[in-house]
Amino acid sequence: MKKSIKKLISTVLATIALGSVLTGCGGTNSGSKSSSGNVTLTYGIWDKNQEPGMRKMADAFEAKNPGIKVNVEVTAWDQYWTKLDAAATGGSLPDVFWMHSSQSARYASNSILMDLTDKIKGSSLVDMKKFPSGLVNLYVDGGKNYAIPKDYDTIGLWYNKKLFDEAGVAYPNENWTWTEFLAAAKKLTNAEKGIYGFGAPMDLQQGFDNFIFQNGGKVLSDDKTKSGFDTKEVKDAMQWYVDLSLKEKVSPTQTQFAENNYTTFFESGKTAMGLFGSWMLSEFAANENVAKNCDVAVLPQGKQRATLYNGLGNAASANTAHKEEAWKFVEFLGSEEANKIQAESGVAIPAYEGTSEAWMKTQTKFNSKVYAEMLKYAVINPNSKEAVKWQKAETETLLKAFTGKAPVNETCDEVAKKVNEILATEK
């Protein structure tokens, strides 16, 4: 799901441009009704690895609801939002589809998502108290629910056991602090072989945001009206993170990451450690080098423990031609039964309380259980209505500090100013 810096910036720019055409969208959806009276719903997702699990959930739903069929349609992440935006303007949205926290506000505020609030209140299958409140709130706009949490992800510390063994360094453990982490990264770095101890890309979710919260900082104020980048806690964390490549030389530079993204560095054995989300488990299991030589641990701690967590939601189109059937499917997807099916598929951690244990049992290749265990001190991924815009501003502005063209302290102040201006438009 993650890309190089250049691709990330271009994707964000495209998303913002397309988002401006969503206002006032209408029309009907792609679901169909056959001559026999059967209704066929479309279910839009972006992860091919999750298709078998989603298909099993759809099969279970169909068995309980004769006359309703579900087609699971997979569109790769790089094209998903472009396709969805175009479908929204053309009236051909899937009846039910995955929603991401970075996009939910603009879709909900433009009357594209079905308001599920009253339906949830009257449901015997869905209990929103069974989901982490942070995930529920990601899909609330104006006090109304527009999606039901599907899963959650956290960020873990991946490490190459072969490189650790060759350098005589003990594997990461739960007692690691930033001090132990940096000391290990220095020992693991081998300039002659082109091996770095850690990959520190200019990435929010799989990078510096985790260290900001570990240092007691905040990306946004609790009321989401101010940036935290002009605070000492954030500036100190950012200086420490930027120094990993520019001063300590334990990470490739951002120029190197722009040419070969940080996932490629880790998979090819050129970085000994890296932060990666739980969504990477399937890709890493399929990579021969990672599957043979690597594992995952909890993140090192700073002043406190912290890892970002985020999660997808299942939403329905407000303009679907089959509103009742679409709601029934979304309702089922939010049930304990459906979440257990998702858990047993082993790809994503289900958001429903008590179902992650079943997911853990499927994880035999890596120490993947740490992803679920870290939820107890996880911090929700920073988000607001204009998240795409201010994240773009963060990324573009921070590039100056990450490339050594401007001091971290001054750059953070500039980030705060730009983000605050964008947040002010949300009122």
54/133 same-domain check: yes
94/16 same-domain check: yes
318/302 same-domain check: no
265 within 8 A of 236, measured Cβ to Cβ: no
**Helix/strand/coil for 344:** helix
85/203 same-domain check: no
Asked whether residue 368 carries a pLDDT value surpassing 60, the answer given is yes
Instruction: Report the candidate in 310, 351, 340, 396 with the shortest Cα–Cα distance to residue 102.
Output: 310
Asked whether residue 19 carries a pLDDT value surpassing 90, the answer given is no
Phi, psi at 109, each rounded to 5°: -70, -15
Mean pLDDT of 14-37: 48
Task: Using alpha carbons, list the distances in angstroms from residue 174 to 152, 185, 346.
Answer: 21, 16, 24
213/283 same-domain check: yes
120/83 same-domain check: yes
Q: Share the mean pLDDT of the chain.
A: 92
234: alpha, beta or left? (left if phi > 0; alpha if psi -120 to 50): alpha
Total domains in the chain come to: 2
**Residue 73, strand partner residues:** 44
Residue 3's pLDDT is 40
367 within 8 A of 172, measured Cβ to Cβ: no
**Helix/strand/coil for 97:** strand
pLDDT band at 33 (very low <50, low <70, confident <90, very high): low
Residue 110's pLDDT is 87
User: What domain range is 135 assigned to?
Assistant: 5-150+311-354
262/294 same-domain check: yes
User: Is residue 359 included in any domain, yes or no?
Assistant: no
**Residue 119, strand partner residues:** none
The angle formed by the CA atoms of residues 201, 377 and 304, to the nearest 5 degrees, is: 70
Residue 8's pLDDT is 42
Residue 14's pLDDT is 43
The rounded distance, in Å, linking the Cα atoms of 44 and 81 is 11
- What are the strands, taking DSSP E only, across 89-149? 96-99, 140-141, 144-145, 148-149
pLDDT band at 23 (very low <50, low <70, confident <90, very high): very low
Residue 10's pLDDT is 46
197/133 same-domain check: no
**Helix/strand/coil for 304:** coil
207/141 same-domain check: no
**Residue 149, strand partner residues:** 313
